[in-house]
């Protein structure tokens, strides 16, 4: 059973789910703005679970521009290939972007034959933001598909660009 909490973000309520001491889900709000809950989830106060508490704390700090990466126990749901891609996503630096082909290359794969598979794995990421799939863009520099929608992807990239450049921060 997933225990989850809701974090308010500039673009709506983000749901964070935890199972057995590991973060398993980060979900964007439904189209109507209501929080998306894991299918087998029970909403809890973040303080009811230490991992949930820490996940909420880190996500809030990221959204406030005070955190650049996450240090949480994660539980992936996917094939070994997808898990390899998701680990590769975690290496894309804050405030930057990479293409699907560049991500494939960084994983030691031939981008000519694996860029689409890397893209599919990117799209199947159950931990967006924490595993920063929003940092991957098309080869021509366009913003491509994102589970939270292109506008949320744009907002996350803009947040990171502002923080990385020092613009719009208090200090």
- The two beta strands, 98-99 and 22-27, are unpaired
Phi, psi of 23 (to 5 degrees): -75, 130
* Closest to 11 (Cα-Cα) out of 90, 125, 129: 129
- The tens digit of pLDDT for each residue in 57-67 reads 999 999 999 99
pLDDT at res. 30: 82
How far, in whole angstroms, is CA 10 from its chain's centroid? 15
Phi, psi of 16 (to 5 degrees): -115, 125
Cβ atoms of residues 5 and 45 within 8 Å? yes
Predicted TM-score (pTM) of this structure: 0.91
- The tens digit of pLDDT for each residue in 66-82 reads 999 999 999 999 999 99
Cβ atoms of residues 46 and 23 within 8 Å? no
User: Where in the sequence numbering do the catalytic residues fall?
Assistant: 133
What kind and span of H or E run contains 73? none
């Amino acid at each position: 059973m997933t225990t989850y909490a809701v974090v308010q973000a500039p673009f709506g309520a983000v749901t964070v789910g935890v199972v057995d001491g590991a973060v398993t889900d980060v979900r964007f709000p439904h189209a109507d703005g209501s929080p998306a809950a894991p299918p087998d989830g029970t909403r809890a106060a973040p303080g009811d679970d230490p991992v949930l508490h820490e996940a909420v704390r880190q996500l809030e700090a990221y959204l406030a521009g005070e955190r650049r990466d996450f240090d949480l126990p994660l539980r992936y749901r996917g094939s070994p290939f997808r898990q390899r891609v998701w680990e590769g996503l975690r290496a894309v630096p804050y405030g930057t972007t990479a293409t699907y082909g560049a991500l494939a290359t960084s994983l030691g794969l031939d981008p000519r034959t694996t860029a689409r598979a890397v893209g599919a794995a990117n799209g199947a990421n159950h931990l967006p933001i924490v595993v920063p799939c929003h940092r991957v863009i098309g080869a021509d520099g366009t913003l491509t598909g994102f589970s939270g929608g292109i506008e949320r992807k744009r907002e996350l990239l803009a947040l990171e660009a502002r923080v990385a450049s020092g613009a719009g921060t208090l200090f």
